[in-house]
Amino acid sequence: MRITAERSVGLIVDVQDRLLPHMIESDRVCNRISVLIEGLKTLAVPILLTEQYPRGLGQTVAPIRSCLPGVTPIEKITFSCCDEPRFMQLIDAGNRPWIIIAGIESHICVLQTGVDLIERGFTPIVVADCVSSRTVMDAQTATARMAAEGILLTTCESILFELCRQAGTESFKTISRLLK
């Protein structure tokens, strides 16, 4: 199965002020998510953004917000994005079966969203270097569970070049610069 930009949507889950600093390799993860977002934008892949209880956990961190001007976060109190009706309305209306997921925490919101997306007929693709948890054990266990559940795992570089499809284009040049 080849993943295409025209049939994909990006999902950035809960990369918020009071959560991100507690994640493993938080600076690296934030940087990779920013690269992923810029690459998806280059390829005209629409992007959704969620925030878990923003009154308590803060807004999406500034580096991510600055990559997504004009994108209004979908507020939620559920762990799975799929349990938020507004999220599902947007996903269903988009008619794009592949959901490219980045964010936190791997073992809670990312995992539950991926499992629920499968149940609803979508194909979740978790970008492994763009997700994190508070502990190594939680992150590793989440990755193993995702694979066992049928959630596709990839990396930022791999998914962006798969969506790009060929070298020599302006999109390829932009993505190559982003990944250096």
CATH number at residue 14: 3.40.50.850
pLDDT at 170 over 90: yes
pLDDT at 111 over 90: yes
Residue 103 · residue 10 · CB < 8 Å: no
DSSP helix/strand/coil, 68: coil
The answer to whether the pTM exceeds 0.85 is yes
- Which H/E stretch holds residue 103? strand 98-104
Compute the distance between CA of residue 152 and CA of residue 22 in angstroms, rounded to an integer. Answer: 26
- The per-residue pLDDT for 1 is 81
| Residue 62 CB coordination number (10 Å) | 10
Relative orientation angle of helices 26-42 and 156-164, to the nearest 10 degrees = 0
* pLDDT tens, position by position, 25-59: 999 999 999 999 999 999 999 999 999 999 999 99
Q: Which domain holds residue 33?
A: 5-179
- The per-residue pLDDT for 86 is 97
Structural domains counted in the chain: 1
- The per-residue pLDDT for 17 is 97
Considering Cα of 111, then 92, then 12, then 121, what sign does the dihedral take? positive
Q: In what order do the strands lie in the sheet with 152-154?
A: 74-76, 47-52, 8-13, 98-104, 123-132, 152-154
Relative orientation angle of helices 156-164 and 170-179, to the nearest 10 degrees = 170
Compute the distance between CA of residue 120 and CA of residue 132 in angstroms, rounded to an integer. Answer: 24
User: Which of 94, 90, 104 lies closest to 33 in space, CA to CA?
Assistant: 104
Count H helices, E strands: the chain?
Answer: 8, 6
